[in-house]
Structure 1
């Protein structure tokens, strides 16, 4: 499990890729992945295409990110498998995030 960050300066977009389990063990790494860019970016992409497992702590981390970056920023959750996408939809994350 790991996190990588790619900055797309021309688009003012930060892409955060999560690999493996998205759970509480990634709390500090996930927060660090976006916190340095608050106010500098208009859009964030959380690439979940390699996420195998997601727990309630991960949902809480995504909500914390939403609150930290502000409502004017777009956060796209992309690439989630059908099981994880279903969890996001049941949790009504489609109201706060752009789920692709």
Structure 2
């Protein structure tokens, strides 16, 4: 499991990349990816291209990111979701809370 984050050049957007399993074991690493950056982004992208699995704790972590980013006014896009990941997000009605592409 590897989680990395990279702010855009202007600091307005933070991209978080998740590789491997996204589950409870990655909780602290995921929080660090958005809390321990030197910018305060207006937008977030979570790249799930290389995410092989996510569970209910991963869904909870995405909700924590949403709260951190401003709740209902948060701008968070979940990118490059596999069909399995997209299915889990759809069952959980996350398309109402996040932009999913």
For Structure 1 versus Structure 2, the TM-score category normalised by the shorter chain is over 0.9
Flag as ranges the 4+ runs of structure 1 deviating above 6 A. Answer: none
What residue in structure 1 maps to residue 3 of structure 2? 3
What residue in structure 1 maps to residue 45 of structure 2? 45
CA distance 1:27–1:41, change in 2 (3 Å)? same
CA contact (8 A) 2:11 2:39 kept: no
Task: Tell me the secondary structure at the aligned position of residue 7 of structure 2.
Answer: strand
- How big is each residue's C-alpha offset from its partner over 1:47-74, in whole Å with a ceiling of 9 and x where there is no partner? 0000001111100100111112113231
TM-score of the superposed pair, with normalisation by structure 2: 0.91
What residue in structure 2 maps to residue 54 of structure 1? 54
Could you tell me which runs of 5 or more consecutive residues in structure 2 were left unpaired when the two chains were aligned: none
What residue in structure 2 maps to residue 72 of structure 1? 73
CA distance 1:77–1:25, change in 2 (3 Å)? same
What residue in structure 2 maps to residue 96 of structure 1? 97
Count the aligned residue pairs. 100
Deviation at 1:93, TM superposition (A): 0.4
TM-score of the superposed pair, with normalisation by structure 1: 0.92
Could you tell me which runs of 5 or more consecutive residues in structure 1 were left unpaired when the two chains were aligned: none
CA distance 1:61–1:68, change in 2 (3 Å)? same
